[in-house]
Amino acid sequence: MKRVVILYDEINEKILRENVSTLKELWQEIGYGVVELVVSENISPDEYMNKLVGMKEDFLITFAMAGFGWRGCMEQVRFNTLAVMQIHILIGYLPFYDFFLQKEYGIQSFFFTDNVEILEGWKEKYPQIPYMDSIPALYMAEHLTEKEKTANREIFQQMLRKVFSFIEKPSVL
Protein backbone atom coordinates (compact mmCIF):
# COMPACT_ATOMS: atom_id res chain seq x y z
CA MET A 1 0.00 0.00 0.00
CA LYS A 2 1.16 3.51 -0.76
CA ARG A 3 1.87 5.52 2.35
CA VAL A 4 1.89 9.16 3.45
CA VAL A 5 3.46 10.47 6.63
CA ILE A 6 2.15 13.72 8.10
CA LEU A 7 4.68 15.31 10.44
CA TYR A 8 3.98 18.22 12.77
CA ASP A 9 5.25 19.64 16.05
CA GLU A 10 3.58 18.68 19.30
CA ILE A 11 3.18 22.35 20.22
CA ASN A 12 0.86 22.80 17.18
CA GLU A 13 -1.13 19.61 17.69
CA LYS A 14 -4.33 21.19 19.01
CA ILE A 15 -4.67 23.80 16.28
CA LEU A 16 -3.67 21.35 13.53
CA ARG A 17 -5.82 18.40 14.62
CA GLU A 18 -8.79 19.10 12.36
CA ASN A 19 -6.62 20.05 9.39
CA VAL A 20 -4.55 16.91 9.76
CA SER A 21 -7.75 14.85 9.89
CA THR A 22 -9.02 16.51 6.71
CA LEU A 23 -5.72 15.94 4.91
CA LYS A 24 -5.65 12.34 6.13
CA GLU A 25 -9.15 11.73 4.72
CA LEU A 26 -8.14 13.12 1.32
CA TRP A 27 -5.14 10.81 1.06
CA GLN A 28 -7.17 7.80 2.18
CA GLU A 29 -9.80 8.58 -0.47
CA ILE A 30 -7.14 8.20 -3.18
CA GLY A 31 -5.84 4.93 -1.74
CA TYR A 32 -2.99 5.87 0.58
CA GLY A 33 -2.36 4.70 4.10
CA VAL A 34 -1.61 7.64 6.40
CA VAL A 35 0.68 7.76 9.43
CA GLU A 36 0.90 10.77 11.72
CA LEU A 37 4.16 11.58 13.48
CA VAL A 38 3.93 14.21 16.18
CA VAL A 39 7.37 15.68 16.89
CA SER A 40 8.22 16.02 20.55
CA GLU A 41 11.24 17.99 21.78
CA ASN A 42 11.98 15.15 24.21
CA ILE A 43 12.63 12.58 21.47
CA SER A 44 15.83 12.45 19.46
CA PRO A 45 15.58 13.45 15.78
CA ASP A 46 17.39 10.18 15.01
CA GLU A 47 14.38 8.23 16.25
CA TYR A 48 12.09 10.11 13.85
CA MET A 49 14.49 9.74 10.92
CA ASN A 50 14.85 6.01 11.60
CA LYS A 51 11.05 5.67 11.60
CA LEU A 52 10.79 7.59 8.33
CA VAL A 53 13.49 5.50 6.65
CA GLY A 54 11.89 2.28 7.90
CA MET A 55 8.41 3.21 6.71
CA LYS A 56 9.43 3.73 3.09
CA GLU A 57 6.61 6.21 2.60
CA ASP A 58 5.72 7.68 -0.77
CA PHE A 59 5.00 11.19 0.53
CA LEU A 60 6.07 13.19 3.54
CA ILE A 61 3.98 16.21 4.53
CA THR A 62 5.12 18.72 7.12
CA PHE A 63 3.36 21.65 8.72
CA ALA A 64 5.23 24.81 9.78
CA MET A 65 8.59 23.22 8.90
CA ALA A 66 8.42 20.52 11.55
CA GLY A 67 11.69 18.56 11.56
CA PHE A 68 13.67 21.11 9.58
CA GLY A 69 16.01 21.66 12.50
CA TRP A 70 17.31 18.10 12.11
CA ARG A 71 20.72 18.30 10.47
CA GLY A 72 23.13 15.73 9.08
CA CYS A 73 26.88 15.63 9.54
CA MET A 74 27.51 18.29 6.92
CA GLU A 75 24.62 20.47 8.18
CA GLN A 76 22.42 19.36 5.28
CA VAL A 77 18.67 19.08 5.69
CA ARG A 78 18.07 15.47 6.72
CA PHE A 79 14.82 15.27 4.75
CA ASN A 80 16.99 15.42 1.61
CA THR A 81 18.28 11.94 2.47
CA LEU A 82 14.79 10.46 2.12
CA ALA A 83 13.75 8.96 -1.22
CA VAL A 84 10.26 10.41 -0.90
CA MET A 85 8.15 13.17 -2.40
CA GLN A 86 7.76 15.99 0.13
CA ILE A 87 5.07 18.58 0.65
CA HIS A 88 5.90 21.33 3.12
CA ILE A 89 3.05 23.60 4.23
CA LEU A 90 4.21 26.93 5.65
CA ILE A 91 1.54 28.47 7.82
CA GLY A 92 1.79 32.23 8.29
CA TYR A 93 5.26 33.53 8.91
CA LEU A 94 7.44 32.17 11.68
CA PRO A 95 10.88 33.69 12.37
CA PHE A 96 12.78 30.47 11.63
CA TYR A 97 11.31 30.06 8.13
CA ASP A 98 13.84 32.43 6.59
CA PHE A 99 16.79 30.43 7.99
CA PHE A 100 15.46 27.08 6.76
CA LEU A 101 14.31 28.31 3.34
CA GLN A 102 17.88 29.34 2.49
CA LYS A 103 19.06 25.70 2.63
CA GLU A 104 19.41 23.42 -0.38
CA TYR A 105 16.51 21.07 -1.17
CA GLY A 106 16.00 18.20 -3.56
CA ILE A 107 13.71 18.42 -6.56
CA GLN A 108 11.23 16.23 -4.66
CA SER A 109 10.40 19.12 -2.30
CA PHE A 110 7.22 21.11 -2.79
CA PHE A 111 6.68 24.18 -0.61
CA PHE A 112 3.31 25.88 -0.20
CA THR A 113 2.83 29.14 1.67
CA ASP A 114 -0.05 31.39 2.57
CA ASN A 115 2.34 34.28 3.17
CA VAL A 116 2.77 36.79 0.35
CA GLU A 117 6.12 38.03 1.74
CA ILE A 118 7.64 34.56 1.44
CA LEU A 119 6.31 34.00 -2.06
CA GLU A 120 7.22 37.40 -3.50
CA GLY A 121 10.76 37.27 -4.75
CA TRP A 122 11.34 33.71 -3.54
CA LYS A 123 13.37 32.81 -6.62
CA GLU A 124 15.86 35.54 -5.79
CA LYS A 125 15.84 35.21 -2.01
CA TYR A 126 15.57 31.39 -1.86
CA PRO A 127 17.18 30.08 -5.07
CA GLN A 128 17.60 26.62 -3.52
CA ILE A 129 13.82 26.05 -3.33
CA PRO A 130 12.86 23.90 -6.33
CA TYR A 131 9.08 24.50 -6.15
CA MET A 132 7.05 27.03 -4.20
CA ASP A 133 3.46 28.05 -4.68
CA SER A 134 0.83 29.98 -2.80
CA ILE A 135 -2.25 28.69 -1.04
CA PRO A 136 -5.03 30.69 0.57
CA ALA A 137 -4.73 31.03 4.33
CA LEU A 138 -5.93 27.91 6.10
CA TYR A 139 -8.36 28.20 8.96
CA MET A 140 -6.44 27.31 12.10
CA ALA A 141 -8.21 26.66 15.41
CA GLU A 142 -8.91 23.87 17.85
CA HIS A 143 -12.48 23.68 16.56
CA LEU A 144 -13.43 24.57 13.01
CA THR A 145 -16.90 25.14 11.62
CA GLU A 146 -18.12 22.93 8.78
CA LYS A 147 -17.68 25.88 6.42
CA GLU A 148 -14.04 26.31 7.53
CA LYS A 149 -13.35 22.58 7.22
CA THR A 150 -14.80 22.60 3.70
CA ALA A 151 -12.68 25.60 2.72
CA ASN A 152 -9.52 23.95 4.06
CA ARG A 153 -10.38 20.70 2.28
CA GLU A 154 -10.63 22.60 -1.01
CA ILE A 155 -7.26 24.25 -0.38
CA PHE A 156 -5.66 20.85 0.31
CA GLN A 157 -7.29 19.36 -2.80
CA GLN A 158 -5.95 22.20 -4.94
CA MET A 159 -2.49 21.76 -3.43
CA LEU A 160 -2.47 18.01 -4.13
CA ARG A 161 -3.68 18.54 -7.69
CA LYS A 162 -0.74 20.90 -8.28
CA VAL A 163 1.75 18.40 -6.87
CA PHE A 164 0.39 15.46 -8.87
CA SER A 165 0.18 17.58 -12.02
CA PHE A 166 3.80 18.67 -11.61
CA ILE A 167 4.94 15.09 -10.97
CA GLU A 168 3.18 13.93 -14.15
CA LYS A 169 4.45 16.85 -16.24
CA PRO A 170 7.50 18.50 -14.69
CA SER A 171 8.19 21.95 -16.00
CA VAL A 172 11.04 24.37 -15.76
CA LEU A 173 10.50 26.58 -12.74
CATH 3.40.50.9100 fits 2-168, yes or no: yes
CA-to-CA distance for 123 and 102, rounded, in angstroms?
11
Residue 140 DSSP class: -
Q: Cα Rg for the chain, rounded, in angstroms?
A: 15
Cα–Cα dist 138/108, whole Å:
23
Domain ranges, ordered by start, for the chain: 2-168
Q: Which amino acid is at 54?
A: G
pLDDT in tens, 21-58: 999 999 999 999 999 999 998 888 888 888 888 888 89
pTM of the prediction? 0.92
